[in-house]
Amino acid sequence: MATRTQLNTIPLRKITDFKSKLSGGGTRSNLFEVELAFPASINVDSTTLDKSRFLVKAAALPASNVTPLDVAFRGRTLKVAGDRSFESWTITIINDTDFAIRSTFEKWTNYMNRLSDNTGETNPALYQADAFVYQLNRDGSILRAYHFYDTFPTAVSSINLSYESDAIQEFTVEMQVHWWEAIKGSSPASGGEDIN
């Protein structure tokens, strides 16, 4: 059996060593912005678009999976890289009293599949739109951006009503994503590289 050589011969086990590696202070989960876009046929006004940058209160950086393929060989299995798949992307939105964003998503889903008669737009180019997530630094600069291509909503969640609740309403939207790209941000603190 091969012996493993320690990568770092000087143990880094002090809190000061850890602190030196976390020089930027760590990326904060609450410093982000989502930029939604909607199909041109939905006719969304600029006020609603601007509002969505503030009222999307939760999102996620994208996930994707490369499925391994099993190739049998004389009683053994060789794993090789298969196709990539992209998980759906869910956002949580604060509902304002004008219902502007919720109404826009309801209009979008109705454009794809009408509530009354199960008809709708069949050309994907006419019902899909791009979206962006920006991970922000504490000074507001962009550390990293994710560009979601050809998104469209497949689920707009219910909003629970109750006499016993005084919370501001929220709802979630599940979006389908064809693919995404990661883009290095403009912040001096940003690292990594473009992935596309």
Read off the CATH number of the domain in which 118 is found: 2.30.110.20
Does residue 50 lie within any of the structural domains? yes
Q: Find the domain containing 120 and state its range.
A: 30-184
Q: Is residue 10 part of a domain?
A: no
Q: What is the pLDDT of residue 25?
A: 79
Question: 92, 59 in Cβ contact below 8 A?
Answer: yes
pTM of the predicted model, to two decimals? 0.85
pLDDT on residue 18: 77
Domain count, the chain: 1
Assess if residue 20 is contained within a domain: no
72 lies in some domain: yes
> 57 in a domain, yes or no?
yes
Calpha distance 108→132 (Å, rounded): 18
Q: Is residue 42 part of a domain?
A: yes
pLDDT given for residue 192 in this prediction: 84
Task: Write the pLDDT tens digit of every residue in 101-152.
Answer: 999 999 999 999 999 999 999 999 999 999 999 999 999 999 999 999 999 9
Residues of the chain with pLDDT below 70 are: 1-12, 23
Position 80 scores a pLDDT of: 96
Q: pLDDT at position 190, please?
A: 86
Q: According to the model, what pLDDT value does residue 24 have?
A: 76
pLDDT at 2: 65
Distance, CA of 96 to CA of 3 (rounded, Å): 61
Q: Is residue 118 assigned to a domain? A: yes
Does a structural domain hold residue 22?
A: no
d(C-alpha 100, C-alpha 94), whole Å: 11
